[in-house]
Structure formats: structure tokens, C-alpha cells
Amino acid sequence: MAFQLTPEHQALRAMVREFAESEIIPHAAEWDRTHHFPVDVVHKMGELGLLGIVFEEEYGGGGGDFLSLCIAIEEIGRADQSMGITLEAAVGLGINPIAAFGTPEQKARWLPDLLAGRTLAAFGLTEPGGGSDAAGATRTRAALDGGEWVINGSKAFITNSGTDITSVITVTAVTGDNEISALIVPAGTPGLTVEPAYDKLGWHASDTHGLVFEDCRVPAENLLGERGRGFHQFLATLDDGRIAVGALSVGLIQACLDLSVEYALDREAFGRPIGANQGLAFQLADMDVTLEAARLLTYKAAALKDAGQPIKQAAARAKLFASEGAVSATRVLTQVLGGYGFMEEGPAARFYRDAKILEIGEGTSEILRLVISRSLGLPVL
């Protein structure tokens, strides 16, 4: 087992960190305060190759491994979780299904601009009636009529679905008895309404909308992959995404540790640095262990994916542990900073608000425990 990143992975981390520190960190608080989605950052991430990192070179991708994607998401997420989820969702939810299941024609049409960061894609699975039981809760229907799919229904909480550069949204729909399929819907298709952006607890600079489909017609060839394989497709998409959300969480834990240690060395109380108190220092020691374990679980899941091995259990473990570790780390950071931690002038409050969704999106902690229990052979419902 190699526990050392290759020189290429280390160089990638250094490059993304430099970008994040110069182009994201100085502006993240302002974007959060004004709920501003910085399109230019997406373009720049595209120019750096971050959106195409794992995809085929034929379409402008980097042909890299999944671990590289995790490192990139980790570093962007260390700077700002809104931009981290924008990258994660763009790749894991937006591009991934088209790259994995699309025809050569579909890939040729959509991937070059998506991989270059000129456009963004979204993935609409969750509905107002439920996300955890995504198959059972799917009420959106699509029927063939005159060589076109006619889509009716609605989707909830869809990331990257309403930006100025969103080009395409893949949606799941019931297409027959016990049959769910995925359809590619170009942005701006008549009959698709993008609802106003949600007012969220965190991720203020990320883009999230509800979608309504009313007799929305797309050509029959916009079916993604095989008819009736939508359920299989979104499970595979979510497994990949869970590793990537693990990486996003690792980035947040790293940011919390860096800031906590810096402050604990600098801030004094009772004539000594607050970090000289075991009660505080031991919390940071625990955070360090959580960070290392979360990173190892995430990188192991990525390595399994790169080796073509099954990832369901590994991905669930990584996301569960890392996301819960991130929520805990933001609580400790806020406590270490005392009153300043509660102020919006520093990143702690933003991190605290941004963390909670990590335990919800792309599989709640409860659903991940369900997946892991089943992997153990337990007949849990």
C-alpha cells in the first residue's frame, strides 16, 4: 500500500491550492454575504482542467484518476464550500452521467464545453416528495409522443441548474411500469421552468433551484443510456458523488484545523496561549485524527474506483465519516475562536453554516448507515 501521493498528485494539490488562495479565499466571505455565484471562477476552474480532470481526452478531459479529482475538490473546499460543491456537483452530478452513459453523439455535443468550464450541467433526481427514497418518490413522468419525450413533474434542490452558463440538466422520470429512465434536457427548453434560487442556511454562493416540467418536450434521442436503466444510473452516479463529497468534507476539516491551530497559538488567556490548555489542545488533536481518517477513507474509496473495484460500501463509509467529522470540526473551530467564531467577519461562522448539508446531500447519514448495514449482510429495512 502506498500512503504517499505521487509527485503528480502533489503538484496538482499545490497548483489548486495556489489558485484557491489567490482567486477564492479573498472573495468567499463577500460571495457568501451577497449570495453571489461567481461564474468567472467556474471558467477559471475549467481553464485549469479541474472540471475535466477524470474524463476522456477526446472531449477535452485530462484522462486523470479519481484521486486527482478528490484532491482538487478538497483544495477548493478548503477555501470555500460553495465553490467546492459547485465543482463537485458540476463533475459528479452534471458531467459524470453523460460521460458514463451517453452515446458518442451526446458526449460530443455536451462534453467539450462542460469539461472546459464554459458551461455547467445539473442532475435532477430529488423531487419535492422525497430524496432518500429517490426511486419510490419519483413522480415526474415522461411519455413518448411523435418522436419526442414529453416530461411533466418537478424536481427539488437541484445544484447548478439555474446559472447563466447552465447548458443541460439530466432528469430522472418514470417512463413505464416500475421503469425509471434518465433524459437530457437542454437548458431553456420550453416547458422547463427554473424556480427562484432557494434561501439556504449555507452554501450561499452555490446555485440551487427547484425545477418544474410542464409538457416539456425533448427529442427521443435525448434518452440517456438504456430506457429503464435510470435507477441503476443514479445509484452509480451517487456512489461516485459520495466519494467526492467525502473529499469536500476533508477540505473543510483541514480548513478548520489550520485556523484552529493558528488561533490557539496566537490568542492568549490567563497569560498563556489558549493552545497550552489541554482541554483545548486535545480537541485539536482529535480533529487531526479525524482529518487523517477521513482523508484515508476518501482516498481509499477513490483508489478502489480507479482500480475498477466495487465502491458502494467504501464510498458510504468515506462520506459518512468525513461529513460528520466536518460538522464536528466546524463546531470545535467556532468554540476555539470564542466570540469571534460567532461573527460573520471571519470564516468560522460560514464554515459552521456550510457544514450541515454535507450530512444530507447525496445520501443522508441515515441512508449511508443503511447502505453500510446492508453491506454487512444485515436485513435492515
Ligand X SMILES: Cc1cc2nc3c(=O)[nH]c(=O)nc-3n(C[C@H](O)[C@H](O)[C@H](O)COP(=O)(O)OP(=O)(O)OC[C@H]3O[C@@H](n4cnc5c(N)ncnc54)[C@H](O)[C@@H]3O)c2cc1C
CB of 108 to ligand X, least distance (A): 24
Nearer to ligand X, 158 or 333 (CB): 158
CB of 90 to ligand X, least distance (A): 10
Closest by Cα among 147, 148, 145, 151 to 174: 151
* Cell output for 268: 492568549
Residue among 18, 344, 362, 366 flagged as catalytic: 362
Report which DSSP code applies to 338: G
Nearer to ligand X, 287 or 367 (CB): 367
**Catalytic: 362?**
yes
DSSP labels, 56-81:
-GGGT-----HHHHHHHHHHHHHH-H
* Cell output for 377: 449482510
User: Which residue is at the shortest CB distance from ligand X?
Assistant: 131
CB of 130 to ligand X, least distance (A): 5
**Taking the alpha carbons of 184, 188, 190, 195 in that order, is the dihedral positive or negative?**
positive
Helices of type H across the chain: 7-19, 25-34, 39-47, 66-79, 81-88, 96-101, 104-115, 134-137, 230-266, 278-306, 312-336, 347-355, 365-375
CB of 147 to ligand X, least distance (A): 28
Nearer to ligand X, 54 or 238 (CB): 238
| Number of Cβ within a 10 Å radius of residue 323 | 31
Nearer to ligand X, 337 or 355 (CB): 355
Nearest 5°: phi and psi at 194?
-95, 115
Nearer to ligand X, 5 or 137 (CB): 137
Binding site for ligand X (CB under 6 A): 89, 93, 122-126, 130-132, 157-159, 200, 203, 208, 357, 360-362, 364, 366-367, 370
Cα–Cα distance measured from residue 86 to residue 159, given in angstroms and rounded to the nearest whole number: 8
Q: Which stretch of DSSP H or E encloses residue 159? A: strand 148-159
Nearer to ligand X, 156 or 291 (CB): 156
Task: Return all residues near 103 (Cβ < 8 A) that are at least 6 apart.
Answer: 221
* Cell output for 315: 464510498
CA 117 to chain centre: 16
CB of 109 to ligand X, least distance (A): 21
CB of 361 to ligand X, least distance (A): 4
Catalytic residue ranges: 362
